[in-house]
Amino acid sequence: MYKRKMINSHYIAVISIFIYGCYAGETRRPKNQKVPISNLVLRETNSLMHQVLCGVDFLHQHRIIHRDLKPQNLLVDRFHRVKIADFGLARIYDFHMRLTTMVVTLWYRAPEVLLCNSYATPVDLWSCGCIFAELFRRKPLFEGQTEGDQLQRIFEYF
């Protein structure tokens, strides 16, 4: 699956490698790096959001569903360039394919996945929306403890 060569500034396939100069959303980082995602100003946040959406759009154009987008899987370098990481749950999407519902970290999981319904690329967009809300709110939007609790929090919000 990852043998295809795709060139895009927002796409990387990370398989047990260390990326120098990048740090993930809430992980520790070297002291010489500046601002973690949670402390970004509005302009930087908008730029990050745009980069993430460009990267996700690129994946979807190539029929790839990431299925585990969360702050920890967004690597940001010192120039605030975003790389999407951890493609362990990613799949090439086929319209006739039934995908498992055991994907995506709970707080970023779309309702159709929580309800064990079929799904496609929009689940990545739901995850992006949850990430963007977290960037602005400085805390996760839905902090469910179980799948049922997560669904209840989503339904109460909307």
CATH number (domain holding residue 72): 1.10.510.10
Specify the number of domains making up the chain: 1
Confidence check: pLDDT of 72 > 70: yes
Q: Give the range among 37-41, 62-66, 84-88, 154-158 with minimum mean pLDDT.
A: 37-41
Residue at 9 is within a domain = no
Residue at 63 is within a domain = yes
Model pLDDT for residues 115-143, shown as the tens digit of each residue: 988 888 999 999 999 999 998 888 999 99
Confidence check: pLDDT of 4 > 50: no
Which domain, by its residues, includes 79? 22-157
Residue at 87 is within a domain = yes
User: Which amino acid would we find at residue 31?
Assistant: K
Rounded CA gap, 8 and 66, in Å?
15
Residue at 7 is within a domain = no
Residue at 17 is within a domain = no
Report the candidate in 132, 130, 129, 123 with the shortest Cα–Cα distance to residue 144: 130
Residue 68 designated active-site: yes
Instruction: Give the confidence band of 30 by pLDDT, cuts at 50, 70, 90.
Output: very low
Residue at 11 is within a domain = no
Rounded CA gap, 111 and 125, in Å?
12
Tell me which of 68, 77, 94, 149 is the catalytic residue: 68
